[in-house]
Amino acid sequence: MPTVTNPDTLSRAKPLDHLAECGGDDSPALVLRNHTLSFKDLRDRVARLSGWLRDRVPQQGARVASWAAKNELTCLMPLAAARAGLVHVPINPLLKHSQAAHILADSGSVLLLATKARLASLEEGDLPPGCLVIDENAVLEALDSVADPLSPSENNTDALCAILYTSGSTGRPKGVMLSHANLWLGAESVAHYLGMGNDDVTLGVLPLSFDYGQNQLFSTWFAGGCVVPLDYLFPRDVVRACAKYGVTTLAAVPPLWVQLTEVDWPEESSSPLRRLTNSGGALTEDLVADLRNIFPQARLFPMYGLTEAFRSTFLDPDLVESHPTSMGKAIPHAEIMVIGNDGNPSETGEEGELVHCGPLVAQGYWQDPERTAERFKPAPVESKYGGIAVWSGDRVKRAADGLLYFVGRRDAMIKSAGNRISPQEIEDAARATGLVAEAVALGIADERLGHSIHLVVRAAQDADNPQEALPKALAKELPNFMQPHVIHWRGKMPLNPNGKLDRTALKREIEA
């Protein structure tokens, strides 16, 4: 477990469930489809849900998963599980049964709360032995009869309270282990640099299984503000919700911002917005100009982050126009260092690896010491925090004014529509169909998506009509955001000098 040598910041942390205590009794905390929870209601529902969880899962540290769209249960679970001494595992509702099965098995979840439709999609062998499954509606209906609601906890803030699954460049998603302190201090940091207050209304359009999406809840509640969770189908749904609820804070990823700039924004939708935040990919200068034009009064916060350390940098809105390509500087509670290939801090203007130190650094990857050792390593000796740091693999430069600039990414991650996607996971799914003998998934630059997904395959010898069958097979096994946009069929795949599939040659060919 990471430790830091600066205890002052850690002393600010509280158990995560104390976020329910941050707002006034009558202040709105959560606006749902059919009703609104005040902070008093939020405290009551968290107390009841945590009591319900304790009755069914008494063992401390056990993993409990949720797999549903944004609703009361998925918004309460992070706080309720933390209060009950359990570890919450949110599963992206867009995932199919095979991805959910991997997360359930890898985390060793003993309880799954999900919608009827998602439970019905599970196949034999998808659930870990002894994992109890319960329909989310049955849970909510049972809360009023909970006999022993739990009071705010005194849990150790170093204790594990969440595992968020994120894709890497190779293999299946890996679980990032987060403590109460990681999440509490992340909420405090964001609420502070965004300047949030108790009159703010955040529209939660991002998935709660992502750290960026989950922090929509935490930072808003830390400030005593209100969250409106929204599962939207069309960009116009976001526009209408902004008007209906007087939204002041909107967080999105670049592909969604592109869609939102292509629809009309009436005055009643745009004028209440005070701040726009972006992560999951860089904003283009044209997109920044469009956002400035539509939301002239809103402050725009470009941000950079990684699940292993939550968030690293943000660019002051006052500098967006003059320094449009900068990542900005470290967020509160983060120390960002640029380390050269010789292991020493890089000089001004010299390229190096972005290394994130401090109390936002996660506790590693769940049950994966090998990959943990690759990414979580001792902080540089020059670090003011010490302990364990996240060595991101991203190459950056620091200018004379202290602003950071992104240079490139070391791994082969595909970032499409704000999602981090493992090429290997797509390739494994393609080969598993039995229709292809070889597969290479690539991210190709795309103005709207960030990356479009191209899959290059060679058909298996005995495959029956593979060109028609493969897209149908992948549609059953991969979520929509992982579906290839283009499939290229090859009779022979190029090899590099080491005899491996030559990804560089294939990408060069497609981009030509």
Q: pLDDT band for position 6 (50/70/90)?
A: low
How does pLDDT run across 217-250, given as a tens digit for each residue?
999 999 999 999 999 989 999 999 999 999 999 9
Q: Which domain holds residue 463?
A: 414-511
How does pLDDT run across 159-207, given as a tens digit for each residue?
999 999 987 655 678 999 999 999 999 999 999 999 999 999 999 999 9
How does pLDDT run across 100-131, given as a tens digit for each residue?
999 999 999 999 999 999 999 999 999 999 99
In this structure, is residue 419 part of a structural domain? yes
pLDDT at residue 411 tops 80: no
How does pLDDT run across 28-86, given as a tens digit for each residue?
999 999 999 999 999 999 999 999 999 999 999 999 999 999 999 999 999 999 999 99
Question: What confidence score (pLDDT) does residue 26 get?
Answer: 97
Read off the pLDDT of each residue in 374-384 and give the average, rounded to a whole number.
96
Residue 91 in contact with residue 83, Cβ under 8 Å?
no
pLDDT at residue 2 tops 50: no
pLDDT at residue 87 tops 80: yes
Question: What confidence score (pLDDT) does residue 451 get?
Answer: 94
Q: Which of 14-18, 410-414, 423-427 has the lowest mean pLDDT?
A: 410-414
Residue 65 in contact with residue 109, Cβ under 8 Å?
yes
In this structure, is residue 119 part of a structural domain? no
| Token code pair at residue 330 | 């470290």
Which residues have C-beta within 8 Å of that of residue 145, sequence separation ≥ 6? Answer: none
When divided into structural domains, the chain yields a total of 1
256-295 exposure pattern, b = at least 16 Cβ within 10 A, e = fewer: bbbbbbeeebeeebbbbbbbbbbbbbbbeeebbebbeebb
CATH number of the domain that 457 lies in? Answer: 3.30.300.30
How does pLDDT run across 305-334, given as a tens digit for each residue?
989 999 999 999 999 999 988 999 999 999
In this structure, is residue 16 part of a structural domain? no
The residues with which 355 forms a beta bridge, in sequence order, are 337, 391
Cα distance between residue 30 and residue 36, in whole Å: 6
With pLDDT > 90 as the criterion, what percentage of the chain qualifies?
80
Question: What confidence score (pLDDT) does residue 4 get?
Answer: 44
CA distances from 424 to 142, 332, 358 (A): 42, 35, 31
Read off the pLDDT of each residue in 321-350 and give the average, rounded to a whole number.
95
With pLDDT > 70 as the criterion, what percentage of the chain qualifies?
96
Q: Is the dihedral of CA 197, 203, 209, 211 positive or negative?
A: negative
In this structure, is residue 492 part of a structural domain? yes
In this structure, is residue 378 part of a structural domain? no
Q: Is the dihedral of CA 307, 193, 184, 255 positive or negative?
A: negative
In this structure, is residue 219 part of a structural domain? no
| Token code pair at residue 431 | 């080969």
In this structure, is residue 496 part of a structural domain? yes
pTM of the model: 0.86
Residue 346 in contact with residue 400, Cβ under 8 Å?
no
Q: pLDDT band for position 410 (50/70/90)?
A: low
Question: What confidence score (pLDDT) does residue 5 get?
Answer: 43
pLDDT at residue 7 tops 60: no
In this structure, is residue 183 part of a structural domain? no
Q: What single letter denotes the amino acid at residue 370?
A: E
